[in-house]
Amino acid sequence: MPPISSTEESCGIRVLHQERIRKARKEAAPEKETARLAAVYKALGDPTRLRMIMGLREGEMCVCDLAAFLGLTESAISHQLRLLRDLALVKKRRDGQILYYSLDDDHVSDLLRVGLEHVREGQG
């Protein structure tokens, strides 16, 4: 372990390992990228939305299907679908009056798969 020299940053924040901080700053992903990544995780971090997404892995569903599946209002589902659509996690296809929602691409499934592996191996 290298010796620790307690110093301060310009703003007055205490710092023990300046090298670590410099490195973390240097390797950090661009702010915009980090923000978008956080938004995607956040979207998947709500039980309702997560179950919607996981349900859509089995195939496309319309709004009222998802509402029945989750036991929620169609309005609630529609609100969440808009959020997921804005993040390009799901896409829609119209057939007459009915809108069919499905996962936007395979990355979404990948995200879920890795996440499931984590929670399954993490504490069986």
Partner DNA sequence: TTTATATATGAACAATTATTCAAATAATAG
Partner DNA sequence: CTATTATTTGAATAATTGTTCATATATAAA
Applying CB under 7 A, the residues found at the interface with DNA are: 4, 6, 14, 16, 42, 46, 48, 62-64, 72-83, 92, 94, 96-100
Q: How far is the CB of 76 from a copy of itself (least distance, A)?
A: 12
Residue number, 80 or 89, with CB nearest to DNA: 80
Residue number, 25 or 124, with CB nearest to DNA: 25
* C-alpha span between 123 and 117 (Å, rounded): 10
Q: How far is the CB of 114 from DNA (least distance, A)?
A: 21
CA end-to-end span of the chain: 35
- DSSP letter assigned to residue 30: P
Q: Which residue in this structure is represented by tokens 């569903």?
A: 61
120, interface contact from DNA, a copy of itself, none, CB < 5-8 Å by kind: a copy of itself
User: Can you point out the beta strands (E) in 46-106?
Assistant: 61-62, 90-95, 98-103
- DSSP letter assigned to residue 6: -
Q: Which of 2, 5, 36, 103 forms a contact with a copy of itself (CB under 8 A)?
A: 36
Binding residues for a copy of itself restricted to 87-106, rule: CB under 8 A: 88, 95, 98, 105
Contact 117, 65 (CB under 8 A): no
